[in-house]
Amino acid sequence: MTDTTAKTAVTPAVPAAAPTPAPAPRRARVWRGLTPWLFLVVPLALLITFTYAPIANMVAYSFTDWDGVSPQLHYTGGHNYAELFTRSDLFEVFFVSGYYLAASAVQIVVALYFATILSFDVRFRTFFKGVLFFPYLINGVAIGFVFLYFFQDGGTLDSVLALFGYHSSHAWLGTPFSANVSLAGVSVWRYLGLNFVLFLGAIQSIPGELYEAAELDGANRRQQFRHIIAPGIRPVLTLTVILSVSGSLSAFEIPYIMTGGATGTETFVIQTVKLAFQFNKTGLASAAAVVLLLIILAVTWVQRRLVPDDKVDLV
Amino acid sequence: MNHRRTVVLASLATALLLAGCTGTGGSSKGEEAKAPTDPSKVSGTITVLTQRTDLVQDGTMKRYAAEFNKTYPKVKVEFQALTDYETEVKIRMNTANYGDVLLIPGVIKKSDYPKFFASLGTRAERGKKYRFTDFTTVDGKVYGQSPIGVMPGFVYNKKVWRQAGVTTWPTTPAEFLADLKAIKTKTHAIPYYTNFAAQWPLTSWTFVNGSVHCDPQATTKLAKGDPWAKGADLRVGDTLLYDIVHQHLAEKDPTTTNWEASKTRLAKGEIATQWLGTWAIIQFRDAAKKAGLSPDDIGFMPFPAQVDGTFCAVVGPDYNQAVNIHSQHKEAARAWIDWFTDKSGYDKDNLAISPLKGATLPAVLKPYEDAGVKLIELDDSAGAEVKLIDDESEVGINKPDYRQSLVDLARGARSGSLDGFLDDLGKKWTAAQKNVGQ
């Protein structure tokens, strides 16, 4: 559910302009002031070109009636926003996010469980780590198609269930409830690995002596988790929750590929894409995207206020 | 701290500047792509955009180009096949770089054609030779030409239908349903396959429009009235689709259908019927050949409705080819369109209807001639208005969504009644008519 791939520009090393000791003190000062900016030129350029410029564009479109291709566009003021907030049907799709939100909760718990177990000495632990992380490496489109076969009538899921003597003729993507649960399940399968790795990294950064000391004091695994691991990974846990919530609100890839939003699986982003590319209401769709952005920012802000990111102090 | 402020301001300014540079394009207007007088003198490299990825990959398009070069030796033709044609071209059309020859995407407003494409000539002049000219006519000038004509209809497996004891085409929706029931009870085939998951096959149900009442003005009626009023064409079509699914005559789980596999399955007789178009016949026959079966078992029948005892079928254009107004080699581009339409044999290779007036029907449509099916062409003068209403109302008569909801409704995955559903569509549609009319 969480999508961390976007929005963070990688910082590449800038090869040029290593600050050489300059003779004139004034020039040296200028150089020293300039050096950090030189290093930042590339990432800033990337960030502005690929993040802020498109967002500014999107905001600009949201005040127009542009159809996405016509050379003409008219400024319509807040008309798109007014339409957005007077049409309740446009927000009904947020109910679908509920399924993904519930799935994120499951996902975090399961990821945390596996991360904890595999951070201790377990047989085949590297293998299991690989198994858990692997789905995250597969392209989302491929996953969508694979799971279409999986859920097919007489497909993989039905065959596996038949092995256990359960002969189902259930259409997994057939009703809104079952379809949404199935799709959210695919999301969990896909993003579990990422959460798992984040948790594992955080757990392994806790100094090993703490466990030793705890064990000497007679703490069992459960107590170690409660008093060492849980507080030790709190910042990562908060981050994951934020990412999961924003990911749930903006779920798109998997439902779009697998059902195209049919049978009550339409999410807010799918609806926005359809407004923009099917009905050519790019202006209205931009407004919807801006609203989604604001909602996610608001959710993040509330969460940061509720769970302030204070320093971890284990010792 | 001061530094930080300037950077933020600077980036904001850049962003706003960039935001300002949009919505430009098509400045030159009213240009014409004239047909070359001397084929040996036309030169240049032209890029042809196409949605036929299959034909580009298997080299068929290259063979056409080689054939073209026999007449036009100095023109080099390059192809770009786009998988998601509509979306990709739409984005490219914000620049000047969208090939020399392209297919007019559905999103372009008809009134904008002169801004994006060079004209191919006047309606009066082209109409003498070609069909479908009014689909791309703006102010008396024609902007596109479809290389083939297509006609909607049911692709069916003749053997299965015979096995079920049906030898004549059904003439009413009720009869059609009765025949599907016979197929269900007497054979092992799925009577009707919706192709729900592939989505676009459902949109072809809109092409029912016109054939129910044999009315060439059907498109104009869409612009003026309620397409889902009692007895209206779309209501008849949608009701039939609803009944098929509601009476369990379609596949058990529509949500996981598979388009590619459905071709072979129909050829094998596992599926009896699909509502598609003439363009599909060749694909199903190929699938039959590949499966080692007789391609002659693939049949094609019109919508089950008759006016005065005659079936009616609507012939319309496929994608229209046009010349980019920014093209540097408009003559060469025009030469390609003319040659591809008139001489390439693309229509025959696809067992399709020729866009040339007076051309004979392909042999696969012999049964149509025998049955005396009347072929009509819809008047498209209100086509642009219908598109506007469709976008405004968000109904999407040429989009899969509402038919997917209809199928969901029919199989009980969505609550409500058919009448309520169709009336709701009608309400949205007529409300949008008022907005667009202003």
Output the pLDDT for position B38. 86
Q: How far is A8 from chain B (nearest CA, A)?
A: 17
Q: Is A221 a residue whose pLDDT tops 80?
A: yes
For residue range A24-57, what is the model confidence (pLDDT) as tens digits? 678 888 888 888 889 999 999 999 999 999 999 9
Report, as an integer, the average pLDDT of A209-232. Answer: 88
Torsion, CA A290, CA A292, CA A297, CA A299, rounded to 10: 160
Judged by DSSP in three states, B190 sits in strand
Name B192's bridge partners.
B250, B273
Alpha carbon B241 to chain centroid, angstroms: 19
Residue pair B409/B347 in contact (Cβ under 8 Å)? The answer is no
Tens-digit pLDDT profile for residues B115-140: 999 999 999 999 999 999 989 999 99
Torsion, CA B186, CA B187, CA B191, CA B195, rounded to 10 = 160
List pLDDT tens digits, range B44-66.
Answer: 999 999 998 889 999 999 999 99
Of B12, B25, B252, the CB nearest to A153: B252
Give φ, ψ of B49 to 5 degrees.
-90, 140
Cβ separation of B7 and A151 shorter than 8 Å? no
- Whether chain A has a CB inside 8 Å of the CB on B92: the answer is no
pLDDT tens by residue, B64-107 = 999 999 999 999 999 999 988 988 898 899 889 999 999 999 88
The pLDDT tens digits of the residues spanning B287-334 come to 999 999 999 999 999 999 999 999 999 999 999 999 999 999 999 999
Asked if pLDDT for residue A13 goes beyond 50, the answer is: no
CA distance B57 to B77: 15
Q: What is the CB neighbour count within 10 angstroms for residue A207?
A: 12
Distance CA B197, CA B202 (A): 9
Give the gap in angstroms from C-alpha B214 to the nearest C-alpha of chain A: 29
> What length does chain A have?
315
Closest-CA residue to A281 (of A56, A51, A69):
A69
Q: Does B383 have pLDDT greater than 60? A: yes
Instruction: State the ipTM, two decimals.
Output: 0.80
Q: Are A191 and A132 in contact (CB under 8 A)?
A: no
pLDDT tens, B223-248? Answer: 999 999 999 999 999 999 999 999 99
Residue B195 contacts residue B257 (beta carbons within 8 Å): yes
pLDDT of A209 higher than 60: yes
pLDDT in tens, B411-432: 998 899 999 999 999 999 999 9
Range A211-239 average pLDDT = 88
What local confidence, expressed as pLDDT, does residue A10 receive? 43
CB B129 within 8 A of CB B338: no
Q: C-alpha angle with apex B361: B358 to B366, nearest 5 degrees?
A: 140
Residue B437 confidence (pLDDT): 66
Interface list for A 199-258 with B (CB within 8 A): none
Average pLDDT on B250-279 reads 92
DSSP string, B191-256: EE---TTT-HHHHGGGGGTTTTTT-TTHHHHHHHS-TTSTT-HHHHHHHHHHHHHHTT-B-S-GGG
Nearest-angstrom CA–CA distance, B261 and B251 = 13
Instruction: Test A48 with B197 for CB contact under 8 angstroms.
Output: no
Average pLDDT over chain B reads: 89
To the nearest whole percent, how much of chain B has pLDDT over 70? 93
Place of tokens 């107004």: B325
CB-closest option in A61, A151, A278 to B399: A278
- Kindly state whether B386 is in contact with chain A, defined as any CB-CB distance less than 8 angstroms: no
User: B3: which chain A residues are within 8 Å (Cβ-Cβ)?
Assistant: 37
Q: Chain centroid to CA A286: how far?
A: 21
